Amino acid sequence: MQSVNPDEDAQTVHRLRGLAVELNLLGAEFAQLHGLHTTDLRALICILDADRADLPATPGWLGSQLGINSASVTALLDRMESAGLIRRDRDADDRRRSLLAVTPRAVDLGQSFFGPLINRTAAVLEGFDATERDTISRFLDGVNRAVAGERQTRSQPTDASAPRSRTRRAGEPA
């Protein structure tokens, strides 16, 4: 087993942070260019990822992915549907449920903006052999799970942050 160098680990974490910042800036530029909220872009990515994974994207699911309430999801979807970026289809198996899909227009917008980055990233990967690519994939999947786990942990109320309710006794101040 290799020895762990904390300085190298910190450098890797800082590189990841730098990448995240650059990707967020690029996403914000795309959103601004097309008159979108950054949440709209995150929603498009979530819906596209669900489609790639063959998972149903519903409004409730999208709200949980984005960490927003149902009223906010409705406003988001109304805005995106009006912009021609998504469509809501009735689920053939459960007519009460809506399934979300991105439109060809949204795919074209994304491809025209992010396509060059995808091509540059693919070119970078060409410099790695299959074993190295597998290592990169395992690392990125692991980091993704770590970040998702941290986000999940932070969204859980702790004893200190949980609302406290108790019955007030007669004569106690409110």
Q: Which two tokens stand for residue 132?
A: 């190295």
Identify the residue whose tokens are 């406003």: 75
Q: What are phi and psi of 168, to 5 degrees?
A: -80, 135
pLDDT digits (tens, 9 = 90+) for 35-79: 999 999 999 999 999 998 999 999 999 999 999 999 999 999 999
DSSP 85-134: SEEEEE-SS-TT-EEEEE-HHHHHHHHHHHHHHHHHHHHHHTTS-HHHHH
What band does 168 get if pLDDT is binned at 50, 70 and 90? very low
Higher-pLDDT residue of 1 and 142 is 142
What band does 4 get if pLDDT is binned at 50, 70 and 90? confident
Q: CA gyration radius for the chain?
A: 21
Measure the CA–CA gap between 106 and 120, rounded to whole angstroms.
Answer: 21
Write the Ramachandran bin of 164: left for phi over 0, alpha for psi from -120 to 50, otherwise beta.
Answer: beta
Q: How far is CA 137 from the centre of its chain?
A: 18
pLDDT digits (tens, 9 = 90+) for 96-124: 889 999 999 999 999 999 999 999 999 99
pLDDT digits (tens, 9 = 90+) for 120-160: 999 999 999 999 999 999 999 999 999 989 988 887 766 55
Q: With beta carbons less than 8 A apart as the criterion, state whether 38 and 27 touch.
A: yes
Q: With beta carbons less than 8 A apart as the criterion, state whether 6 and 68 touch.
A: no
pLDDT score recorded for residue 92: 84
pLDDT score recorded for residue 159: 59
Q: What share of residues in the chain are helix, strand, coil (percent, to 5)?
A: 65, 5, 30
What band does 2 get if pLDDT is binned at 50, 70 and 90? low
